[in-house]
Amino acid sequence: MSMNKITGIVGGRERPARMRKLLIGALLVLSTIGGTVALATPQAQAATPAATTLRDRRGDAPARIDLTKIVLQRQGTKLLVRVHLRDAPRGNNQGYKIWLDSDRTPQKAPDYTMRWISQEYGSGRTTGWDVVTSPWNPYGVGRANLTINHRLDYFTFSVPMSDLKGTRNVRVAVSSFTMNAYGRRIAVDHLTARHKFSRWVHVASA
Ligand SMILES: [Ca+2]
Ligand SMILES: [Ca+2]
Predicted confidence (pLDDT) per residue in 126-175, tens digit: 989 988 887 777 777 789 999 998 888 999 999 999 998 889 999 999 99
Topology classification of domain 45-202: Immunoglobulin-like (2.60.40)
Share of the chain above pLDDT 70, in %: 76
Q: What is the pLDDT of residue 206?
A: 64
Span 30-57, pLDDT tens digits: 333 333 334 444 444 546 778 999 999 9
Residues 204 and 192: their CA atoms lie apart, in Å, by: 25
Paired with 79 in beta bridges are 74, 159
Paired with 131 in beta bridges are 126
Q: What H or E segment, with its residue span, contains residue 4?
A: helix 2-33
Q: Which ligand is nearest to the CA of 193?
A: 2
CA 203, chain centre distance (Å): 14
Q: Which ligand is nearest to the CA of 68?
A: 1
Q: How far is the CA of 51 from the centre of ligand 2 (A)?
A: 21
Residues 51 and 100: their CA atoms lie apart, in Å, by: 16
pTM of the full structure:
0.74
Residue 100: helix, strand or coil by DSSP?
strand
Q: How far is the CA of 171 from the centre of ligand 1 (A)?
A: 18
Q: Which ligand is nearest to the CA of 173?
A: 2
Q: What is the pLDDT of residue 204?
A: 87
Those residues whose C-beta lies under 8 Å from the C-beta of residue 110, and which sit 6 or more positions away, are 99, 100, 101, 126, 129, 173, 197
Q: Would you list the domain boundaries of the chain?
A: 2-33, 45-202
* CA dist list (Å): 109 to 127, 149, 176: 8, 30, 19
